[in-house]
Structure 1
Amino acid sequence: MIEKPHHLPQRLGLLSATAADPFLTEDLLKGVQGHGGVDLAKVVEPLPEEDARWEVEPLRELAEDAMHEFHDNRTGADGWLAPRLHAALRLTRREAADRRLWNHLALAVAPDYVVWRHLPTSKTDQNEPRTSPARFKGSLDRQCFSRLWWAAEMFRNGKDYSPVVAACANQDLVHSALRRDLIDHRPTAQALVRVMERGVAVTGREIEGLMTAINAAGATLIYDVLAADEPRDPEVLRQWVGDAESAPPVPRHSLPDGPDEEPVPEESVIALTDYFADLFETAPVRGRKPQE
């Protein structure tokens, strides 16, 4: 496995996909050899120096701790790292939508983590295992770190990150959910976790079938009516972002706290969970016999 870059930046920056391309070498993607980091630093757009959120050291330490803790269970690192990355890197959604930030984190700060987490463990088509470039600079639901941050953002219940841990235990749920706008409805996100925990929909095919059915039903049923949510107070998030400089280090052995927003009304989660469980009975699951 490759080592961390010899030259680590002190602060996060913005790295365009075009500028990142020359550093995505075959040796890096195959986990043979990384890059020194010096040349990459020359093509990075800096972020405001007065903002404490862009300090690299806390993020680098999280990546190293995850690799150490989950050296025998790489996928298990997702549920541990997602809430801690979200709590350590306090972003607005607009900031988190900028792929250049994630490109820089993946390629300049923790390329060894990306390869460790996403390098296939076996050969395919007689070729050497190779990390997909999309894990470094892909869409927000595919890129190594952005997918974790957004999973935490979508599945947290107010300041409670425990649903994030449950969601990240199922790769299919996270991947399928992040590709759909419907997941932005907080009761829907919480109900999906509950449905999975019930064992109703667990496999990739089952989750994809359920999500398809939810989307189709959403065309005629407004989930906001069936399961109302508390209005979100933007000031809470602004305060949480503003407190980044004085925030303590993210805990390793307990979950951090997210923005202190009102949790999703429990009655809304229960209503949607029951509805989705019923919906799954007729969901189009590939390989399942149609219901009589």
Structure 2
Amino acid sequence: MITQPNHVPERLGLLATSAVDPFLTEQLLKGEQVHGGIDLAKVVEPLPEDDARWWVEPIRSLVEDTMFEFREDRTRADAWLAPRLHATLRLTRREAADKRLWNHLALAVAPDYVVWRHLSEPTANRPERRIAAERFRGPADRQCFSRLWWAAELFRNGSDYEPVEVACGNQDLIHTVLRSELIDHRPTAQALVRLLKSGRVSGGREVNGLSVAINAAGATLIYDILAPDQPRDPVHLRDWIAEAESAPPVERHERPNGPDEDPVPEESVAVLTSYFAELFETAPVRGRKSGD
């Protein structure tokens, strides 16, 4: 397995997608050799030096611990890393929407993690092990690190990351639901997690079927009316971001805490959980027999 680049920057930067492709070599996408890092640094736009959030060392330390802890089961790493990445890299949603940041993190700071996590296993049809280029510079629901950060942002319940661990423990939920605008409605996100925890919904086909049903119903039913959420106070997020300069490294053995925001109203979560459970009874789940 490849190691980190010879030159790892001290601070995060912005790497334009147009500048990424020359560094996505066949050797990298096959997990054989990473770039040196020096040439890549020449095309990176620096971020403000007076912001402590852009130091790379906490992120490098976190991904190295992840690779060690989950060396026997890479897919389990997502549920552990997502809340810790979110709590380490304290961003506004506007900042997190900038693909250039994630391009830089994946290619300059931790390409070895991207290879470790997403190098495919050989199969009869595709014997060559390979990493999809979108894991380095793809859309938010596919790129290695942005998918975890956004999963943590959308599935956390105020400061509580426990729902994030549940959501990220199901790969199909992340791949399917992160593409839906409905997931930005907090009661919807928490109701999905509650159905997963209850065991009512589990496998990939069931998650996909439920997602189709929820999106279809959402076209005619406004979930904000059925299950209202309370407005979020931006002060809590600003305070949490400001504390990044003095915050200690995130705990490895205990779940970290997110912004000190109010949790989702319990009544709204309960209403949607019940409603989604009813939707699931008639959801188009491939392979499910009528009456199951």
TM-score normalised by L of structure 2 = 0.97
Give the aligned partner of residue 32 of structure 1.
32
How many Å separate the matches in 1 of 2:221 and 2:99? 33
4+ long deviations beyond 2 Å:
123-127, 287-292
* 3-state SS of paired residue (2:20): helix
Shift of 1:127: 4.3
Unaligned runs of 5+ in 1: none
CA RMSD of aligned residues (A): 1.2
Structure-to-structure mapping, 1:52-201, within 5 angstroms: 52-123=52-123, 125-201=125-201
How many Å separate the matches in 2 of 1:239 and 1:290? 52
Higher alpha-carbon deviation: 40-49 or 265-274: 265-274
**Amino acid aligned to 2:278:** D
Contact (CA 8 Å) 1:282, 1:291: kept in 2 or not?
A: no
**Amino acid aligned to 1:193:** V
Offset from partner CA, 1:138-164 (integer Å, 9 cap, x none): 000000000000000000000000000
Higher alpha-carbon deviation: 218-227 or 3-12: 218-227
* 3-state SS of paired residue (2:7): coil
Higher alpha-carbon deviation: 130-139 or 240-249: 240-249
How many Å separate the matches in 1 of 2:121 and 2:62? 23
Shift of 1:29: 0.9
Give the aligned partner of residue 272 of structure 1.
272
Q: How many residues align?
A: 292
Structure-to-structure mapping, 1:239-250, within 5 angstroms: 239-250=239-250
Contact (CA 8 Å) 1:227, 1:271: kept in 2 or not?
A: yes
**Amino acid aligned to 1:56:** V
Shift of 1:125: 3.2
Structure-to-structure mapping, 1:5-20, within 5 angstroms: 5-20=5-20
Shift of 1:185: 0.4
How many Å separate the matches in 2 of 1:126 and 1:85? 32
Give the aligned partner of residue 218 of structure 1.
218
Shift of 1:126: 4.6
Higher alpha-carbon deviation: 232-241 or 67-76: 232-241
How many Å separate the matches in 2 of 1:251 and 1:87? 10
* 3-state SS of paired residue (1:183): helix
Offset from partner CA, 1:221-271 (integer Å, 9 cap, x none): 111122121210011111111111011111110011100000011121111
**Amino acid aligned to 2:116:** W
Higher alpha-carbon deviation: 220-229 or 73-82: 220-229
Unaligned runs of 5+ in 2: none
Shift of 1:291: 5.4
How many Å separate the matches in 2 of 1:43 and 1:200? 49
Give the aligned partner of residue 42 of structure 1.
42
Give the aligned partner of residue 209 of structure 1.
209
Give the aligned partner of residue 4 of structure 1.
4
